Every structure is written in C-alpha cells, then in structure tokens.
Amino acid sequence: MKVCITASGAELGSQVDPRFGRCQTFVIFDLESGAIEAVSNPNIETSGGAGIQSAQLVASKGVTAVITGHVGPNAFGVLNAAGVEIFIGSAGTVKDAAEAYRSGKLQRAQAEDARSKPVPGR
C-alpha cells in the first residue's frame, strides 16, 4: 500500500504542504516495504489544470491514499475515480502526517474543500 503526502520538501521533517495540486513535493511511502520516494511536482506553476495533472501523476504511482491540507474539486474527482482515498486537514511534518495516518487519526474527505485559485502573476 502506497500513501502520498503533499510536502514542502523531500525529507521526513518537511512540512505538509496544504495545497494538493500545487504542492512542492509528493512524498510517497510504501507501507509494506518501507521505501520512500520524493517526487517533485511538475505542475506547481502550471497555468491551469494543476489539480487534475497532479492527481493523474499521483494515481500513476499506484498510490491508494493521499494526505494533504486541502484538495480542490478537479483533483478530488480524478483521485476519487482512481479509487484513491483522500485525507484532508493534515499539518505538521511529513513524519507526523504518516504517523497520524497509521494511527487512524486523519479525516477522510467526502468532498473537495478548496476551490481553484489563479496562479499569482498570471
């Protein structure tokens, strides 16, 4: 089982990035093997469709759950269609978020909780 945490960096001590589609890094944990993969988000400055493209990227990695602060409607739809569980409201470090997931303390999203926002300067 693979879990993706949106993060501001690639380390366990990095802060959870509250944005899904435009987060800096996707930290992917394989809970069975213990392997960790950090994937830089190529959609961070995309002019449109960042949520959809990021959701497609994460789903292509075989992720079964996403942990983030907030998720928009387009990303929610793509992740939901791919069978990926979404947990919102996460904060603190990547390590904290992973531990909260393992202990069942995270809130599973029933719907999106963020709206798309324009990229500053565009």
**pLDDT digit string, tens, across residues 55-94:** 999 999 999 999 999 999 999 999 999 999 999 989 999 9
The pTM (predicted TM-score) of the whole model is 0.90
Pick 2-108's CATH classification: 3.30.300.210, 3.40.1180.10, 1.10.1740.10, 3.30.420.130.
Answer: 3.30.420.130
The DSSP annotation for the chain comes to -EEEEEESSSSTTSBBPS-STT-SEEEEEETTT--EEEEE-TTTT-SS-HHHHHHHHHHHTTEEEEE-S---HHHHHHHHHTT-EEEE---SBHHHHHHHHHTT-SEEPSS------PPTT-
Domain boundaries, the chain: 2-108
